[in-house]
Chains A and B, each alone.
Chain A
Amino acid sequence: MKYRYSAASGHTNINGRYIKRPVVEVELSRGGHQRKFLALVDSGADHIMMPAAIAEVFQIDLNTCPRRTVLGVSMQPIEGFVSNLTLHINHQKDPFDAPVLFIDTDVPILLGREGFFDLYRIKFEQDHDIFQIVPTRLK
């Protein structure tokens, strides 16, 4: 499936053009609870990451989750917690389970490589304003 890059009004790049980002709608679920988000497809992120507030919605006790440290471009370490969620990308046939790193910051949901790029072939065509998500899993 091909998706259009998303622009947000007022966001311009260094050359004054609108910044567009590869954003997809994703439904998160666990234990009978569901919530939908717009998430950024991020090939630079090692893992799927999202704010710890989302873990609370799904009644995940972060105290029982394995801890990992996250480094961003600022190289300042942030403590994170790993747990599993079910994700369903809009317009894709099947949901999938993946490990998620929850961090107590206001970061947008990042769809990183482990658990997402493992299962889908992502083709960025920014020059055409589209990106493609194709499932790679063998049934």
Chain B
Amino acid sequence: MQTVVHDHSQAIPRLLNASHENKWVAISSDYSRVISVSDSLRDLLRMVSDTTAIFYKVLPSDVSFAPAASLRA
């Protein structure tokens, strides 16, 4: 029986709430806390020097997300 990875799947709903929606968050590597939050990934990457931090875009809860994209040369 193959192991199922849980690490972030259980942490995300525990750590994040409506205040994080539509923002970028930096989460500690053990998924125990949110280190920092910003509207801008560019700013967050400047603010958080810890290279073990995990960055995540929190999508708003009241929208459907359909990112599928194709290229046009």
Take A5-B9, A7-B12, A56-B42 as given contacts and tell me if A69 and B72 are in contact as well, using a CB distance cutoff of 8 Å. yes
Majority secondary structure of chain A interface residues (helix, strand, loop or mixed) = strand
Asked whether any CB of chain B lies closer than 8 Å to the CB of A87, the reply is no
Query: What residues of chain A lie closer than 8 Å to B12, measured between beta carbons?
Result: 6-8, 23, 38
The total of Cβ contacts below 8 Å across the A-B interface reads 136
Query: What residues of chain A lie closer than 8 Å to B59, measured between beta carbons?
Result: 8, 11, 108
Take A9-B16, A71-B69, A72-B69 as given contacts and tell me if A4 and B57 are in contact as well, using a CB distance cutoff of 8 Å. no
Chain A contact residues, CB within 8 Å of chain B: 1-12, 18, 21, 23, 25, 33-38, 40, 42, 44-47, 49, 51, 53-54, 56-57, 68-73, 77, 80, 90-91, 101, 106-110, 112, 130, 132
Q: Which 7 A-B pairs have the closest CB atoms?
A: A44-B68, A10-B61, A4-B9, A53-B42, A108-B57, A69-B72, A38-B56
